[in-house]
Structure 1
Amino acid sequence: MSIDLRTTATTPSAVLHDQASEALIEQVREEGYGVLRGALTPDEVAEINAEAVRLCRGELGEIGSGPAVATTDADADVLRRYLCIHHPHKLSGVIRRAVSHERVVDVLTKVIGPNVKTMQSMLFVKAEGKPGQAWHQDEFFIPTRDRSLTAVWIALDDATVENGCLWVLPGSHRRGVLYPDRDQNDPRFDCSIEAYDFPYSDDDAVPVEVPAGSAVIFNGYLLHRSLPNTGRHGYRRALASHYMSAESPLAWKVPPGAALASWDYRDVALVAGEDPYAYKGTVDLTRPYVRPDKDGGCDR
């Protein structure tokens, strides 16, 4: 049975758009986020979820220091050991295709411009009991020169308040300010830092409850977070990727001694248009790894 997830929360919920319309693009510009319903088909979602099992079993290659998995372990038990896998596109052709999906790229070229590159993907599993992530801005982690950083968060399960959907602070991207950050020990969240001292409260937050296959598109300066999966069973799986204008060098993961002004991180993939810096080539710098979730410590 189909359910309208927009009506399940007690606070105002996100509007879902059925196409890459001007209304969707305007919402991303003005509010910092928007939702494209049906970015992936049910079959495409199912294919990625099946691929996630193969990834977590190590069948596609090594994932950093991921948990040990026995061939006799049930798929559900294997998945529940993971919160998030960074850079799964390095191992999976299925995920690489999703990262450059035509419906996603159609929105990105209207939000960012004709030339778009990607530098990161993340596959969230987030089984019941797994934590969320504190308030943060993606631009804090991936600094761009032209403020073009844009995230696409594709729900692989129906995302609800109960299972830990995204929450956003609409309009918090407009100032283009990166707020202070600090370590946090809140058991609701994973090991990531939290942003604080911003002119918004939790009462201003909007839950982004969306059906599987929907894509949440949001600005790199938008304050957002997620809470734990408090459901009694099941996952809140999602594929999140980050994009920016290919016309801007990427000052990310600057090596010691390198000049920030001249550094250009080149472990990127073009998803639309042309790369003016293609003459620099690309380099395979980053390997897939598992995000720590405080279970066993944040320094592992």
Structure 2
Amino acid sequence: MESMGMLTEEEVKKYQEDGYLVLDGFLDPDECDVLRKKMSEIVDRMDVPEHCRIQFSTDHEEQLKAQGSADYFITSGDKIRFFFEKGVFNEKGDFTVARECSLNKIGHALHAFEPVYKNVTHSQKVQTVVKKLGLKCPVILQSMYIFKQPGIGGEVNPHQDATFLNTEPLGRVMGLWIALEDATLQNGCLWFIPGSHKNGITRRMVRTAKGAFPLTDFVGRERNYDDNLFIPTPVKKGGLVLIHGEVVHRSAENISSHSRHVYAFHVMESQDTLWNPENWLQPSPELPFPPLYT
């Protein structure tokens, strides 16, 4: 992989055929460490959202927690918000683990409001890769820092990103997933079904009617997938995984003593594309989807 992120024709073809592609050494170790250091600073100064502090003593409080959590998620597209692993708070709302080990992810606008992540997202290397794949007017939809905590990092079930980030026509969304630490079989690397991006989607996550609860629901059902079709995809620190919006992928729980930190973001080809108004994620006046190319 050349330093400016140039893709070969063979790599472009492999991405088109398989629906995903690993590019080793996309970032050097020092670049990865800068992203991790900045995230450590963000975690140190984070305010825990109130819905995480609500006790589970009454049905009413459980409902308040559920509504607060749903609203916190659905309005996170233009903010930097904190999403926690299960079981990291006690009945008093206090941490049961170290705060730096409590988080599942932070999202969804790191690319807009944190310069370190913004610089990587708009880097010449990223732009070169995306241009080589033929995107004319890509915009950035969302960004996430994923922790996959040691011992408690949860399983991510088989899914397609287009279920949650839906466009008309399909095939306009791509994920860029950068390993900031080694992603291994033990700590929850990605698994893919090669070629599954050619079969469309059968399920969409949609916003419900205004005033309704829950705030989102699913239309359709996920297919059942043969476990034998999934291919494990370990990635060394600094590697980039390109993920087609319709390729089926998953990750196992982290059973190791090592975390699996990742910076990931999604882009959409905006030319001749309709962003589904039922998607949970919507651009806002404060943050329209920013163009990738600068």
Among 123, 128, 131, the residue aligned to 1:109:
131
Q: What SS does the aligned partner of 1:217 have?
A: strand
TM-score normalised by structure 1 residue count: 0.69
Distance 1:64 1:219, change over 3 A: closer
- Greater strand content: 2
Among 231, 237, 253, the residue aligned to 1:228:
253
Distance 1:268 1:225 in 2: 26
1:183-242 Cα deviation digits (max 9, x unpaired): xxxxxxxxx9896325x41101011101011100011000011111110x2210001110
Q: Residue 29 of structure 2 aligns with which residue?
A: 42
Unpaired segments of 5 or more residues in structure 1?
A: 1-17, 70-75, 183-191, 257-262, 274-300
Counterpart mapping for 1:261-300 below 5 A: 267-272=288-293
Q: Which residue identity is paired with 1:179?
A: T
For the Cα contact (< 8 Å) 1:169–1:223, is it kept in 2? Answer: yes
RMSD (CA atoms) = 3.2
1:23-69 Cα deviation digits (max 9, x unpaired): 11111101101011111111110000001111212369985466799
TM-score normalised by structure 2 residue count: 0.70
Distance 1:19 1:251, change over 3 A: closer
Q: What SS does the aligned partner of 2:103 have?
A: coil
Q: Residue 141 of structure 1 aligns with which residue?
A: 164
For the Cα contact (< 8 Å) 2:149–2:260, is it kept in 1? Answer: yes
- Greater helix content: 2
In the TM superposition, residue 141 of structure 1 has moved relative to its aligned partner by: 0.6
1:59-88 Cα deviation digits (max 9, x unpaired): 69985466799xxxxxx9332110111122
Counterpart mapping for 1:177-216 below 5 A: 177-180=200-203, 196-198=222-224, 200-216=225-241
In the TM superposition, residue 150 of structure 1 has moved relative to its aligned partner by: 0.6
Q: Which residue identity is paired with 2:160?
A: Q
- Percent identity at matched positions? 26
Unpaired segments of 5 or more residues in structure 2?
A: 49-78, 90-96, 206-216
1:101-139 Cα deviation digits (max 9, x unpaired): 222221111224232211100110111121021011111
Count residues in correspondence.
Answer: 232
Q: Which segment is superposed worse, 126-135 or 209-218?
A: 126-135
Q: What SS does the aligned partner of 1:135 have?
A: strand
